[in-house]
Amino acid sequence: MTRQLITSALPYINGIKHLGNMVGSMLPADVHARYLRQRGRDVLYICATDEHGTPAELAAKEAGLPVDEFCARQHEAQKAIYEGFHLAFDYFGRSSSAQNVEITQTIARELQKNGFIEERPIRQVYSNTDGRFLPDRYIEGTCPHCGYDKARGDQCENCTRVLDPTDLIEPRSAISGSSDLEIRETRHLFLLQSKLAAEVESWLDAQSADWPALASSIARKWLAEGLHDRSITRDLDWGVPVPADTWPDLAAEGKVFYVWFDAPIEYIGATKEWADAAPAGEFRDWKSWWYEADDSVRYTQFMAKDNVPFHTIMFPATLLATRDAWKKVDYVKAFSWLTYYGGKFSTSQQRGIFTDAALDLLPADYWRYFLIANAPESDDTSFTWELFSSGVNKDLADNLGNFVNRVLSFSRKRFGDTVPAGRESGAPEARLGEQIARLLAEYEGHMDTLQFRKAAAALRALWSAGNSYLEEKAPWTEIRTDQEGAALTLRTAMNLIHLYAVVSEPLIPATTKAMRAAFALPADSPAAQLRWVSADQARALDFIPAGTAFAVPPVLFAKITDDDLESYRARFGANAP
């Protein structure tokens, strides 16, 4: 069976991430990984903090900490939040790890040996006020393409165009704000992407046929504009050092590799971290996932659209140039932006809802469901508190939560604390089973093809089917004249609760754990061990035997009130700045 390697874009180290980062990479990757594990696949989900580059140094300076200590603290802070969101990484590493340093330097040596790295003199911005060369992100100015006045020297955050520092209009130092800048000569390493253009295009032609249009169109646009040789070193104190055995002069000058050179390699580095962290007596073969993996591994990457060029062009070019059998991505799932009332979420400008604040407000499953149900898969999606509260109240509180509560509460009141037996299933139950099987197949199809909004809609339809059945049978009325019929209705509904607990787990894992725990099933029973639901099981709806003890769980989802909405708007603003 094909193994499933999953990576999500590495969250940058300079602060807590916002909901746009969450829905643009890590959360959908987690949903996919959870689903595949439930279907019995061999899954390895790898992520890490991206810790090198200018913003890390600047953030550490602002915090008054050495950069290595700052990154260590931020890694732990981010890791705790992702655990709070129930992201089930197999390993969450660090791009500053010894493993990533080793592999990055090894790959760089291979590129040099194969003639794809060249040392060149360049003219670079030097700050007289700061007394140092300024790497690209240490320079801010106005974007020549869109006029955004806070563009960085490597990329404009507003229009996503890749820039060089000398492209900026009215540039200034990001350290001191000084515009006392001049151009001086220094030397850096360049990846000769121009020599790899034909190979990258051929690889992309063979690989991207089934990619989403968003990912393939961005990659094609970069190719159409031509691949240019790109500097892969920087003048920084923090990063993967240029190896002295290959470039002694540059190493002596303290050059480090460009963050966008070493960060994608950290997917491999973090896998080696995972292997090295294996418990005593357990062997983990990291190379079997990344080196000479062939068709035994399917590799899926998740990322927001601004990361697509680096992952579909620069990183594959790097791996192709090694002439070694490194595994390259099979499928790229890209996302557009999640906006806040139409304005862009921004870490640097603290605009929007950040993940720590989100968890302070409400449990993770509220956010997980809403973000997946409204994932910006093809176009930007605007977050509003009104949309969020509507989704929570209608889908989670009313459609799912209320169904669970009223079924279990009513059954306990009228039949006690065990699942009632009732008569054999009849025509309404047969129709329900067929409907559930059909909706489950639809849900599986969307999950298999990574269509998250459609998958959430199909899951919502599964929940609605239970409510429709309950309204049709009306056990609160049925029990007056037909106790056996009412018992059958409630037993069937309880089996739906168990089915929902199984198939909803990728989206709302904490809630489904509570739903499963409502039934006192022996650990070795088929229902307790059920990982997924087949079509035949869905039609039969006989997971929970009559006589099984159950408890009514606390309210699964509390509704968001008008007072809650008012407080959220006051805290976060009801409109984009």
> Is residue 348 pLDDT above 70, yes or no?
no
The first and second tokens of residue 217, run together, are 């169109």
Tens-place pLDDT, residues 421-464: 999 999 999 999 999 999 999 999 999 999 999 999 999 999 99
| pLDDT recorded at residue 571 | 86
Q: Is the pLDDT of residue 337 over 70?
A: yes
Write the burial class of residue 496 (CB in 10 Å: 0-12 exposed, 13-18 middle, 19+ buried): buried
Annotated binding site for ATP: which residue ranges?
A: 347
The number of C-alpha atoms within 13 Å of 333 and in the hemisphere containing its C-beta is 26
Query: What 3 state SS string does 83-116 have?
Result: HHCCCCCCEEEECCCHHHHHHHHHHHHHHHHCCC
Q: What is the pLDDT of residue 412?
A: 97
Q: What is the reported pLDDT for 419?
A: 97
Phi/psi for 54 (5° steps) reads -60, -45
Binding residues for Zn(2+) are 143, 146, 156, 159
> pLDDT tens digit string along 211-266?
999 999 999 999 998 999 999 999 888 999 999 999 999 999 999 999 999 999 99
Q: Is the pLDDT of residue 536 over 80?
A: yes
Q: What stretches of 128-166 adopt beta strand conformation (E)? A: 132-133, 139-142, 151-152
pLDDT at 576 over 80: no
The pLDDT assigned to 350 comes to 61
SS3 for 321-374, per residue? HCCCCECCCCEEEEECCEEECCEECECCCCECCEHHHHHHHCCHHHHHHHHHHC
On whether the CB atoms of residues 466 and 493 are closer than 8 A, the answer is yes
Residue 77 pLDDT exceeds 70: yes
Query: Phi, psi (5° rounding) for residue 133?
Result: -65, 145
Share of the chain above pLDDT 70, in %: 98
Q: Which of 258, 222, 263, 218 is nearest to 241 (CA)?
A: 258
Q: Is 424 exposed, middle or buried (0-12, 13-18, 19+ CB in 10 A)?
A: exposed
**Cα–Cα distance, 534 to 261 (Å, whole number):** 44
Of residues 530, 368, 335, the one with CA closest to residue 450: 335
CB atoms within 10 A of CB 159: 13
Could you give the domains of the chain? 3-105+259-382 (3.40.50.620), 115-256 (2.170.220.10), 385-540 (1.10.730.10)
Structure tokens at 282: 């357990």
- What digits encode the pLDDT tens for the residues 51-68? 998 889 889 988 999 999
Q: In this structure, what is the dihedral angle of CA atoms 137, 27, 45, 110, given to the nearest 10 degrees?
A: -20
Report CA dihedral (453, 356, 334, 399) to the nearest 10 degrees.
0
Indicate the pairing of strand 297-304 with strand 256-257.
unpaired
Write down the pLDDT at residue 500.
Answer: 98
Mean pLDDT across the stretch 547-570?
95
**Rounded mean pLDDT, 522-529:** 94
Facing residues of 257 across strands? 233
Q: Which residues are annotated as a binding site?
A: 143, 146, 156, 159, 347
The reported pLDDT for the residue numbered 349 is 63
**Which tens digits make up the pLDDT trace of 476-500?**
999 999 999 999 999 999 999 999 9
Inter-residue contact 87 to 310 (CB < 8 Å):
no
Q: How far is Cα of residue 376 from the mean position of the Cα atoms in its chain?
A: 12
Does the model's pTM come out above 0.85?
yes
Question: Across the strands, what pairs with 133?
Answer: 126
Task: Report, as an integer, the average pLDDT of 30-37.
Answer: 98
pLDDT of residue 267: 98
- Residue owning tokens 């984009």: 576
Residue 292, pLDDT > 80, answer no
Phi, then psi, of 140 in degrees rounded to 5: -125, 155
pLDDT exceeds 60 at position 106: yes
Question: How would residue 347 be classed by pLDDT, with cut points 50, 70 and 90?
Answer: low
User: Would the pLDDT of 574 be above 70?
Assistant: no
Tens of pLDDT along 186-226?
Answer: 999 999 999 999 999 999 999 988 999 999 999 999 999 89
Residue whose tokens read 């039609």: 539
